[in-house]
Amino acid sequence: MYWRIIFRLWSAIRGGSSTSFHMTTVKLLDSGNLVLIRSETILWQSFDHPTDTFLPGMKLTAGINLTSWTSQDDPAPGNFTFQEDQVRQNQYIVKKITTSWSLIWSEPEDRCSVFNFCGNFGSCNRQDRRICKCLPGFEPKFRDNWNTENYLDGCIRKSPICIENVKVDHFLSLKMIKVGDPSDTTEKESAEECKQECLSDCICQAYSYESTERSPTCSFWSNELNNIQEQIQRGIDLYVRVPLSDIDPSANDEWLDEVEIQWKPPLSPICNSSNDCNDWPHSTCNMTKDGTKRCLCDAKFQWNLSDFNCAPGQGLEEFKNEVVLIAKLQHRNLVKLLGYCIQGDEKMLLYEYMPNKSLDSFLFDRTLCVLLNWKIRFDIILGIARGLLYLHQDSRLKIIHRDLKTSNVLLDEEMNPKISDFGLARIFGGKQTEATTTRVVGTYGYMSPEYALDGFFSDKSDVFSFGVVVLEVISGKKNTGFYQTEKALSLLGYAWKLWKEDKAYDLMDQTLRETCKVDEFLRCVNVGLLCVQEDPNDRPTMSNVVFMLGSETATLPIPKQAAFVVRRSLSSTASSSTTKPERWNELTTSIEEGR
């Protein structure tokens, strides 16, 4: 124990014969009071000489005060004292009842409350199973220590920042963050000014921007970030400087607490001879590359994952259908067909060249996605909507695409979207508005429930697919992932949950924080959820979608529950792949149907 005043409290008389001293004892009571007792009389007690802690049973009388330590490790007198007010008249109320002490508040509340528990550039999240992790672009300074849950040494950068002749550094946007005090604070008119000032200073590690009624303020951190905590109710949006090369999908997935499920479809049945394949027409028993004999589909057939059978691949009929359709379609948001070739079993389409490939190659690449600012993404959404409106209403033929997804949206040199792949499209004649098929083909995750489960499709099936694409574009998340993994929510379920909780803004891709127009973003969330409603009759037409997206004053309808799916575990998915779900919200996988 530490005492600020040094004096003799008690000592034994050597060689004395007085029995009174032999009866003097020192005891540390359960209350924490250190007492000196002789014949049941307290000669001295530590409760009369408090230091920095007030314990139950102490009396804070006149002239007695509590004094803080200089620091957690230094017991020297600090800067703060606590004592009874000697100036004002105090009123004391004594209740003649038996009471007990109850703990109302204490510090540290948990491990994250301990200053810099995870070390520099380490982030503490009290809700995670692993309480400490390095920020994206950083790694443990001493990994062996981290394996033993010793995080004090923190994290270091994987690559240095501010390197000449290298692509400009990027800022990772982290929400609801608590961090140590900034090195400097100044007034700036916009977040972009903060960003540029930080980029111009090679020692700048991070910045934050806060727009208040008094004045917009920028805060800069030039030293290593410390005492970082996540999920703080009144936390700030912190922008951490990271080299573009160090922003990889695995780091972002870990940070966002999202899991992308790479589902492997069920393999063909195992066999010993071709007789074992009688239950799977158009297949014979053959050796596979892994040395296992399986029932493999004959030529011109391929394994159908939804029917667990051999089904015809894309034949001449589908190919000619695609050629005829595309040749008749002329719209700036539809891909242009230049030619085709058929030779034997080989079939080839020649499209106009799309230098930026497909939308998904940008959207789900954690390096390339930063190139898709909000304006580009919003224009892409509008372009896809106008392309679908043309197919459904404005072209000479009413066409249902049936396979709209991000990989079927191509981008030209100016990032204009063009819908492609009409191999599964269907023409509706006259006043036809819907149809039914026994051959369900497409991509689960984008297919509407009524089509995936019952083979029923209409223009509202494309509307559903469009809604999924919208939510993927604005969130940067795949509909094949788990979000809030403890609840196993698909993207649609996650978006619906945030919408109900009035937290739709949290769905935004973190790379959009600096460029996003909030009103347009919330409008896209609203429209996306309207498009993925369970009942196709509740979904808007594409003409209504285009109007809602383009109108800043229109009052949008409130969406009903999304037709989201709650996926089960991977093991249960594999074992139940041959069984059709009984309810829409039990669809378990997102798989691409081969053609």
DSSP 255-278: HHTEEE--PPPPPPPB-SSGGGGT
The length of the chain is 595
Options 403, 459, 462, 509, the catalytic residue: 403
283-287 vs 228-229, strand pairing mode: unpaired
**Are the C-beta atoms of residues 318 and 330 closer than 8 Å to each other?**
no
**Are the C-beta atoms of residues 217 and 186 closer than 8 Å to each other?**
yes
Using CB atoms within 10 A of its CB, is residue 52 exposed (0-12), middle (13-18) or buried (19+)? middle
Residue 403 known to be catalytic: yes
- What is the Cα–Cα distance from 118 to 254, expressed in whole angstroms? 16
- What is the Cα–Cα distance from 306 to 319, expressed in whole angstroms? 22
**Are the C-beta atoms of residues 67 and 78 closer than 8 Å to each other?**
yes
| Nearby residues of 57 by Cβ (< 8 Å), 6 or more positions away | 31, 33, 47
What is the SS3 assignment for 121-157?
Answer: CEEECCCCCCCEEECCCEEECCHHHHHCCCCCCCEEE
- What is the Cα–Cα distance from 434 to 460, expressed in whole angstroms? 9
- What is the Cα–Cα distance from 467 to 531, expressed in whole angstroms? 5
**Are the C-beta atoms of residues 233 and 176 closer than 8 Å to each other?**
yes
DSSP 299-347: TTEEEETTTTEEEE-S-HHHHHHHHHHHHH---TTBPPEEEEEEETTEE
| Nearby residues of 14 by Cβ (< 8 Å), 6 or more positions away | none
Catalytic residues: 403
